[in-house]
């Protein structure tokens, strides 16, 4: 009789242990695996980082597409800490954000960190809402052009030049004259 009782207690302990291990395994998969929806009872928010110079759009666009197609994702938070980068790659990210926002009806929110300038600010404009700290450096979409004006130096050393142009502003940025 005692032997049957010991076996029954052993089986109960083994089942409880396996159940506990199973729960722990699923919990770790949820925390570190990421893609399991086993215990997803509510809508989720996806986070996409755009940090540093924007030199490639591949990874960011891939993530935005993935989260846009995921029905359990209610909103995408874009974390921007970027001074900008390439025009074409930034345009690709902007276009994908707009597509997901309009076609998939996902809420897009941008959180700007230290810098959201140039391309970082441009792609942020695709969001439903932009959140920035008061100290975030923000703005400057393609608004800077530096060039030297050599007109006075050329006159001093006796250098002359001739500009042939087909329009009034074809020589904008010419170092040989003052801007008008």
Query: What is the reported pLDDT for 70?
Result: 93
Alpha carbon separation from 74 to 45, 63, 137, 171 (Å, rounded)? 6, 14, 29, 50
CB count, 10 Å around CB of 33? 10
Q: Which band of pLDDT confidence, cut at 50, 70 and 90, is reported for residue 6?
A: confident
CA 110 to chain centre: 8
Looking at every residue in the chain, the average pLDDT score rounds to 86
User: Which residues neighbour 166 within 8 Å (Cβ) at sequence distance 6 or greater?
Assistant: none
Nearest of 153, 124, 155, 6 to residue 60 by alpha carbon? 124
Tens of pLDDT along 147-180? 788 888 888 898 887 888 888 877 877 887 777 7
Q: Please give the domain boundaries of the chain with CATH numbers for all domains.
A: 42-144 (3.90.226.10), 145-180 (no CATH)
Tens of pLDDT along 27-78? 777 666 555 555 555 789 999 999 999 999 999 999 999 999 999 999 999 9
125 against 155, higher pLDDT: 125
Q: Which residues are catalytically annotated?
A: 118, 170
User: Which residues neighbour 134 within 8 Å (Cβ) at sequence distance 6 or greater?
Assistant: none
What distance in Å separates the CA atoms of residue 104 and residue 127, rounded to the nearest whole number?
Answer: 14
Query: What is the reported pLDDT for 30?
Result: 67
Query: What is the reported pLDDT for 35?
Result: 55
CB 51 within 8 A of CB 111: no
Q: Which band of pLDDT confidence, cut at 50, 70 and 90, is reported for residue 140?
A: confident
Instruction: Give pTM, 2 decimals.
Output: 0.62
């Amino acid at each position: 009789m005692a032997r049957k009782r010991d076996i029954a207690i052993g089986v109960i302990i083994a089942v409880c242990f396996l159940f506990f291990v199973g729960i722990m395994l699923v919990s770790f998969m949820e925390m570190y695996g990421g893609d399991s929806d086993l215990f997803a009872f509510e809508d989720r928010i996806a986070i996409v980082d755009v940090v540093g110079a924007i030199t490639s759009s591949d990874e960011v666009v891939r993530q935005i597409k993935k989260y846009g197609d995921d029905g359990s994702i209610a909103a995408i938070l874009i974390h921007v800490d970027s001074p900008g980068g390439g025009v074409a790659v930034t345009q690709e990210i902007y276009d994908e954000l707009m597509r997901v926002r309009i076609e998939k009806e996902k809420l897009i929110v941008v959180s700007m960190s230290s810098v959201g300038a140039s391309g970082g600010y441009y792609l942020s404009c695709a969001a439903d809402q932009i959140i920035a700290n008061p100290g975030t450096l923000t703005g400057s979409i393609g608004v800077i052009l530096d060039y030297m004006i050599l007109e006075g130096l050329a006159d001093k050393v006796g250098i002359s030049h001739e500009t042939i142009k087909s329009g009034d502003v074809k020589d904008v940025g010419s170092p040989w004259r003052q801007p008008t």
